[in-house]
Structure 1
């Protein structure tokens, strides 16, 4: 007994320390989650769960991290654990619902959203996802009811009108669908989906010129949507504008090179205008994706025959005839091809078979049901298009349109964890950092350089080359272990020599990478105290403090008014301009110590924008651009700053330059402000 009491006393400081550490680890974990370093955040949440398995928060947040890594089963299991510990957390039902959707468990998701709505009846995200679940289950009545409730809560939520319009189309109520789509356009003329949705209705109504006009608007607002070009090609085809249709298919395939409809239909149009060889290329591509597509096989056979490849044509015709033994056109064309290569016997056999089929048809004799099922027609189909699932071989020359099930796919990606603008959200390009890891960009391939940083790299001081980037990459599990080990290694070095500023900086960098911002700031501060001329320490301390402030603001926004939010989070001091002034002071030192370090001006400009000192921000962006004429992010942010100040023309000029230098999202913003009068 005494031994137990003694043990308890001995462990008391440890237990208290563990409690403090758990809170700190939880903060670091949420930092990592906020900055999308999901693998690292899971490692930290694991530590908290091991220390305090009765808390719901680490399970909930770990589930959130897992869903972002597409581990839907793991996310659901963690949400189960969170709900078991606290059944009143709306977010846990929301995330579990999303995880269940990704596993096609729509009933389970509906149950989760309904439960969550009991606790938070005005949550737009919950109503949105619940409606989509009902649409997915084809329970259109329930979907409409949900969307009606959603619109009572948020009458200007355009996505709800678009979704309700889609439901009306499923119910064959074109008039109601059109009303909803027009309402969505009226409320937000800059949402490309409204124009695209109305275009679909107009295509169905045969109003092809109107559909094309709507798609022109949609494409103007969203130039990277392949579906819009496919649909406009269809509208142009119906107006006999074959060249225009082919141009649209070309554009669609530039965006989505694997688009089935684009290749198939372009192949048909190329065949119509005599571009046989390139038409064959399109059908070759289709058959790589769908080797059993008999329509494409037959069309390729026709084209091969026209280009003199009769043996290839015969091979294609034979495949089709094997699949559809009563397809008359197949025998006719194969007979013609066999004649061309001197196979008179084979040609006669095909002609005899064809003649017999024609006689049987006149006499009302039907062949085996299986063989003619796909060829039977109740009457002559005069439409110019067919559904992709249509297997009637007599429709081989018709343009293909998507099946209804494929059109439904567009909503599968529309489930959301937070209501957000589907267009590019207008926000500044992020701050620059010194780090070892950088995300690769397909467009921007600039290597950022500064002489002093390059000298540090040549000194072999760092375990990896130090990069200057604003596209930081999250750590992999292996990298997480590597940097935790480096923290230990640097700690030993610091114990051996605690007067070396660079050693402190090295460890501060490792703490930053594992999202331990408090320890990181401590080390950068020590580095500055040891060497107040070492500007990278000021630069990184400013960045880490800035990120801390951004995280605090985001956390405050999330917890504000949320039922069940922890009291600790509500006690957090409010972020003020004074906090950003501290960040700015560090950047002032950077610029003073390294006036040619362009990223100091850029980061300070971002801070000044945050402080709403737009004139000061413009001066710093100007200086950054003066030092580096190809600084895309500086042009982008300067452009946005001009727009904030009402100088749209200057802003668009800068955004255009940013787009030219590789920031693709600039073009979306240009479109949204081009029509705005200054």
Structure 2
């Protein structure tokens, strides 16, 4: 009925003359727009404000309100654009600066957000709100001392806002000042005894310091305040587990799953807990759920294999250890336990091979103890059956990510690297306009009908790849190694994820033929894939987000960073040897983007496109990074071009930005 009345009002208004409408009905539209937003009907608010703005393009308040509506619909880029228009029409509009800053903060664009906060505070230094919001942004940007200063200024004017004390406490916590963190969490609780977040934060600090009685009391109180806040149940389950009360811990995990049936971390923890108490069949059901939601995580298969072994299902345990090894061929523990099971299956040769491989992996780890890149080999002494905190999540192992803040668009991914790989000839797409005689000559010199230059995954069966690898080993043992055979074996080693060995084999080929750019290209790709895969296992878990307050989405600063410097150096060499090789610039752009150097990546994509004007993948990736750099219009133009050239994923991304044209 409310919408019907609003429609009648709007219809009547449109029957009036344009001037009368603009002068007389302007407040009606504001009133209807505000009413819709108060009722959380943001789409109807946008439609109403669109009508207003068609008649009055200078109504800066209309753009501001529409920006708020878009923000609440998670159209952050659209909201930013509307706030920018409001500021252009009214350069002293304090609220527009504040809300654009908040939007930019959510997009991860902290520098511009902080500049907007400066503008807002200079215009109205007496308003407390911008200090709080800027403090949250600085907290997210890990400027902890500056964040504390902002929260101090806010609290001097507004000392009844519990979240301000919580955020200040988090800032002190990240500065390792647990005493002041406690003080602030205590003050937050005294300020608002009905806010579960204060109890959860203080309880989390008690849990971290193994003060289980105090932690449990806080989580109990948090649940009393909000019986649907799953973080409270999850944390209390950790307390119960740490104090040897498994059945109560299981009950709390059950409650979390009841509230969030796709929470893979809770299934994972419940599976480990069920395993510890001997409830193996239910543990298997939980691991099956985890495998469904996180199919590329090696620890799922590794832990499930242990459960199968306990149940006497040795063959299935071996299958799971094999799956773990396929995902991570350098996983020494998996070889050790699979070898023991193969003994039980009366496969002494297989057991011997597994023991030999495990010993070699351990030796490799020990030889690289001072090389942080290879620290993952430490899995040979690490246990994987401890419960994990809610500050954790299974990380993906895919190479198609951009590191750092991505503005909430995790689903937007870079298309992968180009490399010489093996594919069935009948599956290779028809030749593109970009033709390089030097590439054809190289393929002819190798003489392998499967060899092609592509960014797609190989469709050669794993068993066939292993057979080919063994064939190349025989050829290398039969005579003096030719660089061509070394190259072919390095390709197969990479495809079966023997990254370390593959890099070594490429290096041997390069020693014999140091002027070949394609050897550097493939070694670079293998190094990058190895580092990315290692990072996905070394940091098997990373912080997840469940809170709406942006301060609670602070990234875990303990995550190891990985350098693509060696991979980039190989591409620098390839470019020097073959300056017209568009794929080398494209690959280097990808690695620069993954390292967070987006402007430099943009330059390399542009160079690749200048060499190959029909380079669809380069248009797509350049479009993606321009979206990340907030140049939406040019980014969408590049994506449009990529779509024209056959990249269907481009249209999926463009759909998310169609509202920017409103």
Give the alignment of 1:488-527 within 5 angstroms.
Answer: none
Matching residue within 248, 254, 264 for 2:258: 254
Cα 1:355–1:384 shift into 2, 3 Å: closer
**Counterpart for residue 295 of structure 2:** 291
Q: Distance in 2 between matches of 1:210 and 1:309?
A: 43
Residue in structure 1 matching 2:242, options 213, 220, 238: 238
2:375 alignment partner in structure 1: 373
Q: 1:122 to 1:256 in 2, by over 3 A?
A: farther
1-side partners of 2:19 and 2:329: how far apart? 80
Match of 1:146 in 2: 150
Output aligned runs, 1:497-646, within 5 Å.
none
Contact 1:132 1:411 in 2 (8 A): no
Q: Deviation per CA, 1:117-137, whole angstroms, max 9, x where unpaired?
A: 333334343222211100111
Aligned counterparts of 1:414 and 1:357: Cα–Cα separation in 2: 39
Equivalent residues in 2 for 1:478-493 (5 A)? Answer: none
Give CA deviations for 1:120-163 in whole Å, capped at 9, x if unaligned: 33434322221110011101111000001011011222211111
Question: Structure 1 residues 414, 19: CA separation in 2 closer, same or farther (over 3 Å shift)?
Answer: farther
Cα distance in 2 between the residues matched to 1:357 and 1:152: 58
Match of 1:278 in 2: 282
Matched residues in 2 for 1:368 and 1:94: separation?
47
2:96 to 87, 92, 95: 92
* Structure 1 pair 214–162 and aligned structure 2 pair: CA distance change class (3 A): same
Aligned counterpart, 1:29: 33
1:134 maps to 2:141: no
Q: What pairs with 1:464-479 in structure 2 (closer than 5 Å)?
A: none
Report if aligned partners of 2:63, 2:86 keep a CA contact under 8 Å in 1.
Answer: yes
Q: Aligned equivalents of 1:143 and 1:49: distance in 2?
A: 38
Question: Aligned in 2, Cα 1:23/1:408: closer, same or farther, shift over 3 Å?
Answer: closer
- Maintained 8 Å contact 1:45/1:62: yes
8 A Cα contact 1:324 1:372, kept in partner: no
CA contact (8 A) 1:338 1:344 kept: yes
> What secondary structure is seen at the aligned counterpart in 2 of 1:147?
helix
CA offset digits 1:6-58 (Å, max 9, x no partner) = xxxxxx97634652244434433333333333333323322322222222222
Report the CA distance between 1:279 and its aligned residue. 0.7
Deviations 1:424-465 (A, max 9, x none): xxxxxxxxxxxxxxxxxxxxxxxxxxxxxxxxxxxxxxxxxx
**In terms of mean alpha carbon deviation, does 250-259 or 325-334 score higher?**
325-334
**Offset at 1:234?**
1.2
What 5-or-longer segments of structure 2 have no aligned partner?
1-15, 396-537, 554-662
**Does residue 68 of structure 2 align to residue 64 of structure 1?**
yes
What does the per-residue CA deviation read over 1:615-667, in whole Å, with 9 as the maximum and x for residues that have no partner? xxxxxxxxxxxxxxxxxxxxxxxxxxxxxxxxxxxxxxxxxxxxxxxxxxxxx
Measured after TM superposition, the shift of residue 331 of structure 1 is 2.7
Whole-angstrom CA distance in 1 between matches of 2:339 and 2:377 = 20
Task: Extract unaligned runs of 5+ from structure 1.
Answer: 1-11, 392-399, 416-678
How many residue pairs get aligned? The number is 394
In the TM superposition, what are the counterparts of 1:167-566 in structure 2 within 5 Å?
167-325=171-329, 327-353=331-357, 373-376=375-378, 388=392, 405-406=543-544, 411-412=549-550
TM-superposed CA distance for 1:343, in Å, is 3.4
Within 2, Cα distance between the matches of 1:408 and 1:402? Answer: 19
What is the Cα deviation at residue 324 of structure 1?
A: 4.9
365-374 vs 340-349, which moves further:
365-374
- Higher-Rg member (1/2): 1
Cα separation, 2, equivalents of 1:82 and 1:156:
31
CA distance in 2, matches of 1:306, 1:91: 62
Structure 2: how far apart are the matches of 1:202 and 1:281?
Answer: 32
Give the distance between the partners of 1:385 and 1:353, measured in 2 at CA: 29
Give yes or no for contact 1:326–1:367 (8 Å, CA) kept in 2: no
* Segment of structure 1 superposing worse, 41-50 or 371-380: 371-380
- TM-score, normalised to structure 2's length? 0.53
Q: Which residue of 1 aligns with 2:631?
A: none
- Give the C-alpha shift of residue 380 in structure 1: 8.7
Q: Distance in 1 between matches of 2:84 and 2:28?
A: 25
Which deviations, in whole Å up to 9, do the C-alpha atoms of 1:260-292 show, x marking residues without a partner?
321111111100111111111211222222222
- Partners of 2:394 and 2:541 within 8 A in 1: no
1:52 aligns with 2:38: no
Contact 2:66 2:82 (8 Å CA) reproduced: yes
The answer to whether the 8 Å contact 2:49/2:62 transfers is yes
Q: Distance in 2 between matches of 1:319 and 1:13?
A: 72
3-state secondary structure, aligned to 2:142: coil
Q: CA deviation at 1:352?
A: 4.9
Task: Measure how far apart 1:410 and its partner are.
Answer: 6.1
Question: Cα distance 1:25–1:199, how it changes in 2: closer, same or farther (>3 A)?
Answer: closer
Provide, for residues 502-535 of structure 1, a one-character-per-residue CA deviation record: whole Å limited to 9, x for no partner: xxxxxxxxxxxxxxxxxxxxxxxxxxxxxxxxxx
- In structure 2, the CA distance between the partners of 1:37 and 1:225, relative to structure 1 (3 Å rule), is closer
Q: CA RMSD in A?
A: 3.6
- Using a 3 Å threshold, how does the CA distance of structure 1 residues 333 and 134 change in structure 2: closer, same or farther? same
Specify the SS of the correspondent of 1:217: helix
